[in-house]
Structure 1
Amino acid sequence: MPISKPHSTLGAKNTGSCTLLVNYLNKENQELEATINTKNSLKEITLLENRKQDFFNHQKEDTSPIEVIDSIDRNIKKLGKTDAKYFAPTISFSQAELKHVISLATEKKNIDNVWQLSNSEYGKYNHLLKNYIKEIMDNYAENFNRQNKGLQTGNDLVYYAKIEHFRKFKGTDEEVKRGLYNSGDYKPGLNSHAHIIVSRKDQTQRLKLTPTTKERSTQRSIGGNSYQVGFDRMKWINKNEKSFDTLFNYRRSAIEKFDNQYILKNGSPREKDLLIKKIDESKRLNKQKNVIKRDFKGPKR
């Protein structure tokens, strides 16, 4: 399942400027630039330049860090000094999901590192991921239930997203503790993920949007005007999963589904046992169907 965390700020305080966070999210570009400065080959330099990632949103594909900071920091009308000014959701994927997206971009099944992609394939892969992030932000806007106030899609938000393709080991990782890797080493495999910076205020600066609220969907009334507040995080995660499966025609197994993963992690012993039996039975039936299909087709010639 795509892991959608609505409230991560990566250690930065979100009551002030987003400058530190934006600079942190530009780290891959900075590392690529440092590598470029050691190269003399035009081919290598071009390859590395094409691997840089810009911020993007519904309206623009190539936004600079300065523009991101200016846009988010100015969108704070009627917010107090100690109020949250922005939130920084993160979106992560499983290896199976990333391999599927890469296969759509390249028609290849054996890619296990983005450096194996040509510049053209890399561009297509990023384009698919960006389209998905835009759908996630449509879901984000919809999940506040403020359509009657003009909050319809990601177009009505002030947000910027950035795709990253690498993760590094930390000292707390088991692989580092066992001496297999050092802290700071790049993790193997596909590690593409997305960081998003989204203003607490919408484009009009009339609405306060807080994805960390404990309220899921609550009706309130002030001066005779009724309005709805809240953000159902479970609903958002489920909608993001469905969007992924629809957009990429992904056939998600039962064990990959968020609802089932949630039960396996947080359910009662009885709920876990019933789910495991249900999944095992589903696997058995699917295996039986595949055998029937194979026998129906007859032997290969």
Structure 2
Amino acid sequence: MPISKPHSSLGSKNSGSCYNLARYLEKENRELENLLNKNNSLKDIANYSNRKQDFFNHTKSDISIIEVVDSIDNNIKKLCKKDSKFFAPTINFSQEEQEHIISLITEEEVKTVWELNQKQFELYNELLRGYILRVMNNYALNFNRKDKGLLSGDDLLYFAKIEHFRKFKGTDTKTKSGEFKSGDYKPGLNSHVHILVSRKDKTQRLKLTPTTKERSTQRKIGNNDYQVGFDRKKWTDLNEKSFDAYFKYDRPELEKFENQYTLKNGSPFENDKLKQKIKSKALEKRELKQRVSIFDRNDKDVKTIRLKK
């Protein structure tokens, strides 16, 4: 499942300017810039330059850090000095999910995004951007404020940034064992997305807090009824369903969020029942894959069908 976390921030305070966070999210571009300065090959220079990622949202895909900071920092009408001004959700993908997305682009085995050619790399990012638009639609709808005009991600003020690499930290097990050094790039596919979203919607009329403990609560001030809350579990579940539908992903039962949630939080009886269900469905899928040939009535021939994983 795409792990969806509605962080308040990424280690920095979110009651002031978002500049520090926005600048932090430019770190991969800065590293690519350093590689550019160390290479004289025109091919390498073009490659590193084309790998840079801009911020994007529902309407644009080439947004500068200046526009990001200016937009978020000025979308704070009626917020007090100590109030949260923005939030920093992250969307993280499993290796299996990333491999599936790449399989839509190329039939070749790809162990790292560096192995994608420029055209494939651009398409990969385009697919990720398309998915994030759906994630932010889910984010908006999960506040249950349709009656106030919050209908989709386009009603939010947000900026997203795709990153493709992760580094080992000193606290990681493989760093402590000496297998890798702190600062080394992690092997494999490590694409993920950071989102910087204003607490206020575009109209600056609504306060939207995804980290609240309330899932859905009706409140009343004077003659005005309104709803507050954000169901983080529901958001994760919606994002998983959006992923599977958008990418045509046949998700294994054990990977499904609802099943993972039950295995982690359910009773022993619920866990045993679910494990039997997962085992039964896996057996059904294996039997289906064994039936790999059918009769084609058009040419009266037997053809082999390779079912997608």
CA shift, 1:109, in A, is 4.3
1:42-99 alpha-carbon deviations (Å, 9 max, x no partner): 1110000000000000121111111111110110111111110000000000111111
Provide structure 2 residue ranges, at least 5 long, that are not aligned to the other structure.
296-301, 305-309
Q: How does 1:1-301 map to 2 (within 5 A)?
A: 1-104=1-104, 106-291=105-290, 293-294=291-292
Does the 8 A contact of 1:218 with 1:229 survive in 2? yes
Aligned-partner SS, 1:37: helix
CA shift, 1:241, in A, is 0.5
Which is worse superposed, 267-276 or 214-223?
A: 267-276
Distance in 2 (alpha carbons) for counterparts of 1:271 and 1:168: 38
CA shift, 1:9, in A, is 1.5
Distance in 2 (alpha carbons) for counterparts of 1:77 and 1:206: 8
Which is worse superposed, 32-41 or 278-287?
A: 278-287
CA shift, 1:284, in A, is 1.6
Relative distance call for 1:295 and 1:51 in structure 2 (3 A) is: closer
Aligned-partner SS, 1:189: coil
Does the 8 A contact of 2:8 with 2:86 survive in 1? no
Does the 8 A contact of 1:8 with 1:90 survive in 2? no
Indicate the RMSD between aligned Cα atoms, in angstroms. Answer: 1.5
State the percentage of identical aligned residues: 61
Aligned-partner SS, 2:38: coil
Distance in 2 (alpha carbons) for counterparts of 1:62 and 1:266: 42
Which is worse superposed, 214-223 or 149-158?
A: 214-223
Aligned-partner SS, 1:270: helix
Distance in 1 (alpha carbons) for counterparts of 2:145 and 2:135: 16
Structure 2 letter corresponding to 1:200: R
Does the 8 A contact of 2:162 with 2:191 survive in 1? yes
1:121-165 alpha-carbon deviations (Å, 9 max, x no partner): 100000000010111001101110111111111111110000000
CA shift, 1:22, in A, is 0.7
TM-score scaled by structure 1?
A: 0.95
CA shift, 1:8, in A, is 4.8
Does the 8 A contact of 2:8 with 2:14 survive in 1? no
Which is worse superposed, 160-169 or 106-115?
A: 106-115
Provide structure 1 residue ranges, at least 5 long, that are not aligned to the other structure.
none
CA shift, 1:221, in A, is 1.9
CA shift, 1:296, in A, is 6.1
Distance in 2 (alpha carbons) for counterparts of 1:249 and 1:299: 23
Does the 8 A contact of 1:99 with 1:109 survive in 2? no
Does the 8 A contact of 1:2 with 1:94 survive in 2? yes
CA shift, 1:267, in A, is 2.2
Distance in 2 (alpha carbons) for counterparts of 1:10 and 1:273: 38
Distance in 2 (alpha carbons) for counterparts of 1:185 and 1:8: 27
Does the 8 A contact of 2:8 with 2:211 survive in 1? no
Which is worse superposed, 80-89 or 221-230?
A: 221-230
